[in-house]
């Protein structure tokens, strides 16, 4: 009986061994007549090793260059082909520009630690280096190099089913549709580097499914269509990636037809030639862009130096992002962000961007948008001495409604009108904001802080001070040409030459400005902590908090929105009766003021 049990166990183990597969060795000096069981009996070709290893088997490939005559096919589940040294450059599979390097049609196969180069399939024109076909779900390419592969449509590779590219280098591939990888399904890309891939499409082209891209770098890739680095027809998730000097027609780095979720990424020196979005263009949503930096991205003859949001009824959240040195074209808008959608910017820093026409920092042409806890400084609209640059900080176009809360707009310069903000047919609400040091440069300009061409501007609990205008007798504060302006709990003082003007109606309530009238208004000096020196972009050393003797202290009117609101310094709005201006005055307990 014991013998029978042992025999049964051995039979079972034999079955397990068969399912695990064999380990087969391949070396340039081997022979496919060998069984491949060790280096002395190594196979000569990788295809020969794959045939001998079977399902679950491993093929270990010695250093050298291998020239397959047909694509190496992994058609048995769970197979692994790996380079011996672990250095992908030591094992090279060269398709000689006539055959694909690898094809995978069985589940859970892995190719690792080798280079695929000069792959080209003369039949289906998809994936010169690696193609993962139906049945190949779970395929992994790890620590591989894809170099100079080319095909009619797709250069480096394709995923028809779920697969993963991990720690790979994808460089100098070409394809009319995608120079890198084309995805007909969901795919995962981690810790990969994509460089100098050139073609009609991107380094990663997501046609179907959802693409997840994590910890990758994209540099100097170019596409003659959309998305220099990534194109997604669905929704891509991009995390902790770096995009440098990629280019395309639209979306120099990333193009999302149905949106994207971008977190912790860096975009630098990317460009779009004609259709918007030097770094990112989105045609739909919903989308999120979080904790990412955009520097020196540009668009040639369209809008959105960094981000372009195409017109549509969808939402985009941009949180904790920085924008600097981005630019739109000479006659175009949105140096940093151009939006035709509903966008919410929170805790963003937008500094030193430029638009050829309107909205050096932000341009919106429709839907509801918001900006909360942002800093908008030193942006420009229009090159001097042009008369086309409007709204260096914010441009609000027809049908748009924008709520701006706890935002500093400073040192923004328009060549024509509205250095801080410009409203043309839309509705702008400024709440707990500071507009200081903004300017216009044209001799026929008006509204250093703000200009209302049409539409409306509502200013609540805000401070407008030390803005300037180049026109003699012009308005450094805000100018109401058409539409209407309503101010509540606000201070408009020390702008040059004038604080406010224009034929459009202005309504004042519980506010402080020279020569005004209205319920609860005052005209006295607001007594800021420090007026600073200079005006407009020359302003230095200013502090627009109120002193204890300010007539604006406790002189505002409490409004419903203030119950849980904060001022520009993130202090509660309501402790006693509300103050006028962007800042609430809080005195230390027990403070005593002596008047001498």
**In this predicted structure, what is the pLDDT of residue 546?**
98
Residues 6+ apart with CB under 8 A from 441: 384, 385, 413, 414, 415, 470
Contact between 552 and 520 under an 8 Å Cβ cutoff? The reply is: no
Residues 6+ apart with CB under 8 A from 542: 436, 437, 465, 466, 528, 530, 531, 532
CA 436, chain centre distance (Å): 28
**In this predicted structure, what is the pLDDT of residue 19?**
43
**In this predicted structure, what is the pLDDT of residue 591?**
37
Contact between 102 and 116 under an 8 Å Cβ cutoff? The reply is: yes
Write the DSSP string, 354-366: EESSB-SSEEE-S
Radius of gyration of the chain, Cα coordinates, nearest whole angstrom: 32
Contact between 232 and 261 under an 8 Å Cβ cutoff? The reply is: no
Distance CA 271, CA 279 (A): 6
Residues 6+ apart with CB under 8 A from 460: 429, 430, 431, 432, 487, 488, 489, 490, 559
Q: Is 371 helix (H, G, I), strand (E, B) or coil?
A: strand
Backbone angles phi, psi at 566, to 5 degrees: -120, 155
Residues 6+ apart with CB under 8 A from 479: 417, 446, 447, 450, 451, 452, 500, 501, 502
Contact between 244 and 274 under an 8 Å Cβ cutoff? The reply is: no
Contact between 303 and 336 under an 8 Å Cβ cutoff? The reply is: no
Cα–Cα distances (Å) from 484 to 242, 424, 507, in that order, read: 45, 11, 8
- Compute the CA torsion angle 340, 343, 348, 354 (nearest 10 deg): 10
**In this predicted structure, what is the pLDDT of residue 366?**
83
First to last CA, the chain: 113
Q: Where are the domains of the chain?
A: 357-596
Q: How many residues does the chain have?
A: 596
Nearest-CA neighbor of 404 among 380, 389, 420? 420
Q: Is 226 helix (H, G, I), strand (E, B) or coil?
A: strand
Contact between 17 and 55 under an 8 Å Cβ cutoff? The reply is: no
Distance CA 146, CA 194 (A): 9
**In this predicted structure, what is the pLDDT of residue 3?**
37
Nearest-CA neighbor of 475 among 444, 452, 501? 501
Cis status, amide bond into 45, omega within 30 of 0: no
**In this predicted structure, what is the pLDDT of residue 513?**
98
**In this predicted structure, what is the pLDDT of residue 588?**
58
**In this predicted structure, what is the pLDDT of residue 215?**
99
**In this predicted structure, what is the pLDDT of residue 592?**
36
Contact between 493 and 592 under an 8 Å Cβ cutoff? The reply is: no
Query: Which residues is 271 bridged to in the sheet?
Result: 247, 298
Q: Name the stretches of the chain with pLDDT < 50.
A: 1-19, 590-596
Residues 6+ apart with CB under 8 A from 461: 431, 432, 488, 489, 490, 556, 562, 567, 573, 578, 580, 581, 582
**In this predicted structure, what is the pLDDT of residue 293?**
99
């Amino acid at each position: 009986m014991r013998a029978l049990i042992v025999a049964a166990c051995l039979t079972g183990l034999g079955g397990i061994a068969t399912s695990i597969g064999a380990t087969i060795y391949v070396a340039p000096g081997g022979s496919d007549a060998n069984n491949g069981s060790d280096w002395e009996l190594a196979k000569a070709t990788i295809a020969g090793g794959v045939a001998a290893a079977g399902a679950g088997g491993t093929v270990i490939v010695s250093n050298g260059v291998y020239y397959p005559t047909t694509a190496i096919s992994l058609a048995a589940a769970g197979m692994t082909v790996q380079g011996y040294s672990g250095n992908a450059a030591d094992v090279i599979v060269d398709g000689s520009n006539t055959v694909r390097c690898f094809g995978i049609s069985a589940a859970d196969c892995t190719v690792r630690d080798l280079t695929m180069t000069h792959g080209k399939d003369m039949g289906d024109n998809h994936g010169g280096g690696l193609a993962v076909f139906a049945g190949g779900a779970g395929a992994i390419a790890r620590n591989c190099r894809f170099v100079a592969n080319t095909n009619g449509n797709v250069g480096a590779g394709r995923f028809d089913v779920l697969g993963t590219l991990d720690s790979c280098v994808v460089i100098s591939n070409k394809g009319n549709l995608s120079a890198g990888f084309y995805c007909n399904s969901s795919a995962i890309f981690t810790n990969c580097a994509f460089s100098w891939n050139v073609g009609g499409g991107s380094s990663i082209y997501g046609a179907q499914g959802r693409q997840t891209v994590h910890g990758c770098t994209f540099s100097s890739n170019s596409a003659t269509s959309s998305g220099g680095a990534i194109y997604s027809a669905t929704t891509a998730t991009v995390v902790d990636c770096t995009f440098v000097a990629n280019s395309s027609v639209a979306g120099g780095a990333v193009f999302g037809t149905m949106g994207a979720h971008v977190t912790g990424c860096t975009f630098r020196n990317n460009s779009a030639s004609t259709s918007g979005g030097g770094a990112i263009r989105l045609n739909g949503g919903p989308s999120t862009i979080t904790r990412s930096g955009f520097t020196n991205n540009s668009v040639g003859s369209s809008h959105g130096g960094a981000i372009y949001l195409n017109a549509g009824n969808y939402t985009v959240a941009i949180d904790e992002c920085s924008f600097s040195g981005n630019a739109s074209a000479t006659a175009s808008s949105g140096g940093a962000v151009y939006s035709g959608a509903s966008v919410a910017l929170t805790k963003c820093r937008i500094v030193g961007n430029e638009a050829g026409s309107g909205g050096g920092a932000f341009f919106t042409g429709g839907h509801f948008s918001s900006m909360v806890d942002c800093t908008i400084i030193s942006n420009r609209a229009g090159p001097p001495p042009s008369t086309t640059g409007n709204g260096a900080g914010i441009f609000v176009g027809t049908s748009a409604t924008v709520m701006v809360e706890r935002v500093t707009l400073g040192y923004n310069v328009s060549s024509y009108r509205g250095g801080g903000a410009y409203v043309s047919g839309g509705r702008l609400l400024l709440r707990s904001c500071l507009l200081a040091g903004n300017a216009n440069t044209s001799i026929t300009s008006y509204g250093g802080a703000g200009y209302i061409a049409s539409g409306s501007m509502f200013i609540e609990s805000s401070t407008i001070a030390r803005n300037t205008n180049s026109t003699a007798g012009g308005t450094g504060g805000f100018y109401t040409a058409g539409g209407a302006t309503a101010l509540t709990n606000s201070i408009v003082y020390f702008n040059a030459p004038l604080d406010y003007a224009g034929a459009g109606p202005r309504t004042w309530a519980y506010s402080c400005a020279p020569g005004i009238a209205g319920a609860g208004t005052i005209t006295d000096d607001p007594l800021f902590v420090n007026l600073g020196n200079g005006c407009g972009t020359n302003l230095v050393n200013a502090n627009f908090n109120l002193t204890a003797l300010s007539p604006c202290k406790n002189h505002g009117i409490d409004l419903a929105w203030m119950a849980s609101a904060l001022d520009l310094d993130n202090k509660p709005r309501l402790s006693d009766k509300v103050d006028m201006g962007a800042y609430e005055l809080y005195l230390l307990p027990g403070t005593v003021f002596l008047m001498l």
